[in-house]
Structure 1
Amino acid sequence: MSLLTQIISRKVLALFAVASFSALLSSTVNAYGQSPEEIAARIAPIGNVCIAGEECEVASAAVATSDGPRSGEDVYGAFCTACHSIGVAGAPKFGNADDWAPRVAQGMDTLLSHALNGLNAMPARGTCSTCSDEEIESAVTYMVDNSQ
């Protein structure tokens, strides 16, 4: 086989490999059962920055008035579940009594203080900047009650 034939064969093989890999990546469902549209929705930005003097859309959800405090379950589902469902960075897992026992032993005031002010990798208010103290307390109570 001549050198030119070898080079062409390698390039064709490389092109085939790249095409096969591209087809694999662009399949309609990934290994986790999510379509490209579901992935795009999951990783979409959660906000925009508005600069004074420029046109800016106002997010209706942020401006909307509330009919009262959200339940602990609602707050957990919207803000806490991302970390507490799988134990991100040592977060006590929802429903796991062993994870919660040492924290519960410190008392509800300490748990609430950690939730409001943050602790270790958990940010203050657990990423819910719009939650009232009452809503944070409800979420903590919901997690504790369901983890004993």
Structure 2
Amino acid sequence: MRTFILGLIMSVFSFGVHAQSFMENVKKKATEKKALILLNFSGSDWCIPCIKLHKNIIETEDFKKLETENVIIYLNADFPRNKKNQLSPELKKENASLADQYNQKGLFPYTLLLNSEGKILKSWEGLPSENALAFSKEIREIKENQKQ
């Protein structure tokens, strides 16, 4: 019985550690690459502005260059509603942990530009008014200002 209880406690503890270590790993990777973190909260299958943000900005070549050139590490905390799009319990927990820390108001879409320590440098509530090129340019400028 003691072994069962100990196993149960360890499994619950490991979920908490994994969720926290996920963001810690992203921060570590951002530090190594000297990149910023772009964290986007979305409802990929129900939030129309979220869908537009992904289609018109995140899926564009201008945005993808930010990742390939190590300007940002992109992290999407998705909260789908349709049963067929549900995430693994582990990923749901990670996204909920990110929402507890960075999106307590539950805004969608909500995009944050963070430094490698997790400090918020800029936020966008809703669909950004800029096009992909202007959005990417703004992120590049913020990164350049971080070097100074």
TM-score, with structure 2 as normaliser:
0.23
User: Computing the radius of gyration over CA atoms, which structure comes out larger, 1 or 2?
Assistant: 1
Highest relative contact order (Cα 8 Å, sep 6+), 1 or 2? 2
TM-score, with structure 1 as normaliser:
0.23
